[in-house]
Chains A and B, each alone.
Chain A
């Protein structure tokens, strides 16, 4: 026992010495740990995060634009843009050379560019490549990265380009609906914080910084079938008459929806660089002109509405001209006594002036305002024009007379179509729309404003039917099997305050079918120089072609088929 006790005493000093050393080490370790944990914590967490945590963008799409049946008019497809960090890639020139070759870029130029931008961290090599190609280029090359972007395609191209417009390379709306509904269509890319491993692959999602919000889709009121036919027909007429420009608009009068809106010259929205700005205008909404004779139905309607004339009224237009404060208002020849229908059929300026002057200036102004002259069509399209229609207090006596046959005011073809829709709709004025309407929303249109008596509208409609009849100025607008009503206009162009001798605009606006109107279409062709220039020769055939197709496509029952009716009677008997 004593031996062991002795030994134990003997070793006690060493024992404590070793223990002391160990404790010192432990204290050092704890001290270091405390130091790292407390004093240097922020710095270290930050550094660790910088090596592992990245904020990445989560993609979101811009909304698609459709026609009323879901045909895409503008659609975003993913593409990849290749970018580099110059400092990184310039250290690895052989790799850069390969990448540049695959992208079909010039090697020297690229290197020069990158050297210039050596202090930047982000330089695009090439934007908007097909994802497959971009992947092949960038895969496995250090310092070459991809950024997901979206390219906008316009499958319908020039046929509907004025309406849809286009976006710039950064996906911002520049024209047309793309601009008008930019906020609605726009996508908000999201942001997420993630942890990446050594190889750069994302291994963990930490937090969503911002939710990705894809854009909303937009369904327009356009019927691409009609749009295409209208475009083709307008283009053909413009070529045949060697005209400068032209527009056409078709409305569904029950809903106020614009079914077709075409303009020439047009452009391809998929390649809109180096383009003349005049090609880009949606003339149907932005360009105004004096409507000329196409306005006469409204002069008549305003007077009939006030009970000044009836169907049987006779107006003496002889001697074929009328002096108003020193200026002559002329007809083509002396038509003598005409009834109201005759004034429309012959398109008598004298008759229309007399009717206009039978009303107070204020009355005519009020009626024309009610029909929408001087007011924008209300589709909120960029640069949509309200036309020019001055207040009656500013009218000279001559203005009062010329208003009656469409000089002294100007409007866009869409405004003209909207006014014709008032007649077609038995005197009710609808809001017109470029966006497809819910059946529920149509109730608002149902209680739309009466701006003309239904009896007046009917009477004027019957008179307009004679214009398209065998004795009228627009025989070429007749559609087999249907009753059509319309009015031509052939306007001398007013350039800088003077009327041009040989520059005309040919106009036609019409309604079909007369027994139960469904469609209104207005056509204007600017400066036809060959094969005639009258509205009835130039614009009416476009109306005829488009309308006959539209009535068939929309399955609107014929209301004027004598052979058909005869056969029905036969079968009945």
Chain B
């Protein structure tokens, strides 16, 4: 009798293990798909970051900044008499 119980137990465990393999495999594929999506997202963000950096450097070109400062904001260099040195 004992032997039958043992067999039954082992059988359940084998089947349980087989099912869990299936489950884990499935889970890993889902997670992997998620990882791929995240990587794609990261890729897109990198593209965007590069684009923004380029845009930033175009807008912040020194010639651009200087002409805006001079024309739009009417900025100029102080003359010597206007310079005050703080002690």
Instruction: Indicate whether A and B interact.
Output: yes
Interface string of B37-57 (1 = CB under 8 A from A): 000000100110011011001
A228-B62, A481-B83, A558-B83 given as contacts; is B57 within 8 A of A155 (CB)? Answer: yes
B50 and A75 within 8 A (CB): yes
* A72–B83 touching, CB < 8 Å: no
Which of chain B's residues has its CB closest to A224's CB?
B62
The answer to whether B58 has its CB under 8 Å from any CB of chain A is yes
| Residue from the list A59, A75, A564 in contact with B53, Cβ < 8 A | A75
From 41 to 73 in chain A, residues with beta carbon under 8 angstroms from any chain B beta carbon are 59, 61, 71-72
Question: With A155-B58, A204-B28, A228-B63 in contact, do A78 and B80 touch (Cβ < 8 Å)?
Answer: no
Whether B32 is near chain A, meaning CB under 8 Å from some CB there, is yes
Q: Within 8 Å of chain B (Cβ to Cβ): is A118?
A: no
Taking the closest CB of chain A, its distance from the CB of B7, in whole angstroms, is 23
Inter-chain contact A567/B84, CB cutoff 8 Å: yes
Instruction: Give CA–CA (A202, B39) in the complex, Å.
Output: 12
| The residue from A131, A153, A203, A567 contacting B54, defined by CB atoms under 8 A apart | A153
From residue 50 to 76 of chain B, which have CB atoms closer than 8 A to chain A? 50-51, 53-54, 57-58, 60, 62-63
In contact, B85 and A225 (Cβ under 8 angstroms): no
**Chain A neighbourhood of B53, CB < 8 A:** 72, 75, 155
Give the tally of cross-chain contacts (CB within 8 A). 62
Closest to B48 in A: A77
Determine if A568 and B57 form an interchain contact, defined as CB atoms under 8 angstroms apart. no
**Cβ of B36 and Cβ of A202 under 8 Å apart?**
yes
Report whether A568 and B85 are in contact in the complex, using a CB–CB cutoff of 8 Å. yes
Given A78-B46, A78-B47, is A568 in contact with B87 using a C-beta cutoff of 8 Å?
A: yes
Q: Which residues on the B side are within 8 Å of A75 (C-beta)?
A: 50, 53-54
Q: Which residue of B lies closest to A78 (CB)?
A: B47
**Residue A229, interface by CB 8 Å:** yes
Is A279 close to B, CB under 8 A? no
- Which residue of chain A has its CB nearest to the CB of B78? A552
Once the chains bind, are B83 and A77 in contact (CB under 8 Å)? no
Output the least CB separation between B31 and chain A (Å): 10
The distance in angstroms between the C-alpha atoms of A77 and B80, with both chains bound, is: 46
Write the nearest CB–CB distance from B53 to chain A, whole angstroms: 6
Bound-complex Cα distance A61 to B46 (A): 10
A229 near B57: Cβ-Cβ < 8 Å: no
Contact indicator B80/A229 (Cβ below 8 Å): no
Q: In the complex, A155 Cα to B57 Cα: how many Å?
A: 6
Q: Which of B47, B57, B58 counts the most chain A CB atoms within 10 A?
A: B57
A224 to B57, CA, bound (A): 11
Q: How far is the CB of A157 from chain B (nearest CB, A)?
A: 9
Give CA–CA (A568, B86) in the complex, Å: 9
Q: In the complex, which range does the number of interface residues on chain B fall in?
A: 20 to 34
Give a binary string over A535-573; 1 marks a CB under 8 Å from any B CB, 0 the rest. 000000000000000001000011001011001100100
Q: Which residues of B contact A155 (CB under 8 A)?
A: 53-54, 57-58
State how many angstroms separate the Cβ of B42 from the closest Cβ of chain A: 11
Is A480 on the interface with B (CB-CB < 8 A)? yes
Q: Give the residues from 62 to 106 in chain A that come closer than 8 angstroms, CB to CB, to chain B.
A: 71-72, 75-78
Which B residues touch A571, using CB under 8 A? 87
* CB within 8 Å of B: which A213-229 residues: 224-225, 228-229
CB-CB under 8 A from B47, the residues of chain A are 77-78, 131
* Residues of B close to A71: CB separation below 8 A: 57, 60
Bound complex: CA A202 to CA B33 (Å) = 8
Complex CA–CA separation, A347 to B60 (angstroms) = 44
With A72-B53, A204-B29, A224-B62 known as contacts, the answer to whether A564 contacts B83 (CB < 8 A) is yes
Q: How many angstroms between the C-alpha atoms of A481 and B62 in the bound complex?
A: 25
B81 within 8 A of A: yes
A225: B residues at CB distance < 8 A: 62
Closest A residue to B77 by beta carbon equals A552
Selected contact of B50 from candidates A76, A232, A552, CB within 8 Å: A76
- Residue A446 at the chain B interface, CB threshold 8 Å: no
Per-residue A-contact encoding for B4-21, CB less than 8 Å = 1, 0 else: 000000000000000000
Q: A76 CA to B54 CA in the complex, in Å?
A: 10
CB–CB A481/B58 < 8 A: no
| Inter-chain contact A72/B57, CB cutoff 8 Å | yes
A568 neighbours in B (Cβ, 8 Å): 85, 87
Residues of B within 8 A of A111 (CB): none
A480 touches B84 (CB 8 A): no
A-chain residues with CB within 8 Å of residue B57 when the two chains form the complex: 71-72, 155-156
A205 touches B (CB below 8 Å): yes
Task: Tell me, in angstroms, the Cα distance from A516 to B80 when the chains sit together.
Answer: 20
B81 / chain A contacts, CB cutoff of 8 Å: 563
Determine the residue in chain A with the shortest Cβ distance to B33.
A203
How far, in angstroms, from A75 to B55 measured CA to CA in the complex? 12
Known interface pairs A203-B33, A204-B29, A552-B77; A561-B85 also in contact (CB < 8 Å):
yes
Roughly how many angstroms separate A77 CA and B85 CA in the complex, as a whole number? 46
The distance from the CB of B76 to the nearest CB of chain A, in whole angstroms, is 12
Q: Which residues of A contact B50 (CB under 8 A)?
A: 75-78, 153
Whose C-beta in chain B lies nearest to the C-beta of A130? B47
Query: Knowing A202-B36, A228-B63, A564-B85 touch, does A77 contact B54 (C-beta < 8 A)?
Result: yes
7 tightest A-B contacts by CB?
A77-B50, A155-B57, A228-B62, A78-B47, A564-B85, A72-B53, A563-B81
18 pairs of residues in contact across A and B, judged by CB atoms under 8 Å:
A59-B43, A61-B46, A72-B53, A72-B54, A78-B43, A78-B47, A131-B47, A153-B54, A155-B53, A203-B33, A224-B62, A228-B62, A557-B85, A558-B83, A563-B80, A564-B80, A567-B84, A571-B87
Give B residues with C-beta under 8 Å from A. 28-29, 32-33, 36, 43, 46-47, 50-51, 53-54, 57-58, 60, 62-63, 77, 80-81, 83-85, 87
Known: A224-B62, A229-B62. 14 other contacts (CB 8 A): A71-B57, A72-B57, A75-B53, A78-B46, A155-B57, A155-B58, A203-B29, A203-B33, A204-B29, A204-B32, A228-B62, A481-B80, A481-B83, A561-B85
